[in-house]
Amino acid sequence: MGMIGAVGVVLHPRRDCFSTIQTITDWTRDRGAQVLGLAGEATRIHPAAVAVEPEELSRRADLILSLGGDGTMLRAMRLASGGSAPVLGVNVGRLGFLAEVDIPDVPEALSAIDGHRFTLEPRSGVRATIGGRDELALNDIVLVRSPGQLSAAVGLRVEGHPFVSYAADAVIVATPTGSTAYSFSAGGPIVSPSAEGLLVTPVAPHSAFNRSLFLSSGEKLALEVLLTSGELAVEADGRLVGRVCPGEIIEVTMVPDAATVVRLGRTTFYQRTQRKLRITGSAEAE
């Protein structure tokens, strides 16, 4: 008995995914499985696709397919948060760091999952409380200097105690998943996705202390916008979700097992990281 009775599909907002969609709908039709799509995307999938609300997708689907790049994969993972459906990333973008398979591999991947030949990899998230409202991210929460404003002056409180203050263009709070994204570009370390904690990295810091900080999953973190700071934009996985002013405090917590991604045993995290980021050793070591 196959495990897939309903497949949820999350599409890249602009990229043409027609050939991949056709492969998916052919596979599901042959097995009598249902295809689910978000209300605004179902018509792009197939006339027979069932339109569902975002909160229904992870509840009704046995598997969620992300068709796009890393941004689409992050959106699919946020939609999957709180449910039991794992996410399989299909790379129809450019970098596709989080994706597990390319377009030609989709039929084989679906059959492997249907036959229970796969593993699941839990991914933690990060939740920021801004003015009483919670925002979830799978990569990172970022406080960013607004154009024309003063630098981001942000104080870190760990377990209720002040630890360090950054004056920078931005301050990133990343999950291990997000360690290879904006944080890595800002000079932060690569963190294994099996680690549990939050990584804080300043962007172009204007202070002597310019290092990243990694906190364990149980430690409480708060970001205080200092009085010397300008107004800051708050981004969650690259989406603008709010603005904060001097004197405001953002509570940040790790969300364990926020989403689960499918792995088919083809490559390890380190192999994918080495290939996608084009990591090479020092010439002096060779």
DSSP state of 104: G
For the question of residue 26 being annotated catalytic, the response is no
Contacts of 64 (CB under 8 A, 6+ apart): 7, 8, 9, 10, 57, 58, 76, 79, 80, 85, 86, 87, 88
CA 205 to CA 136: how far, in whole Å?
Answer: 25
CA 279 to CA 270: how far, in whole Å?
Answer: 10
SS3 content of the chain, % helix, strand, coil (to 5): 25, 40, 35
Which contiguous run of DSSP H or E holds residue 191?
Answer: none
Q: Please, are residues 153 and 189 in contact by the beta-carbon 8 Å criterion? A: no
CA 88 to CA 29: how far, in whole Å?
Answer: 19
The answer for 249, left when phi > 0, alpha when psi is -120 to 50, beta otherwise, is beta
CA 33 to CA 28: how far, in whole Å?
Answer: 5
Catalytically annotated residue among 62, 70, 140, 237:
70
Show which residues are catalytic.
70
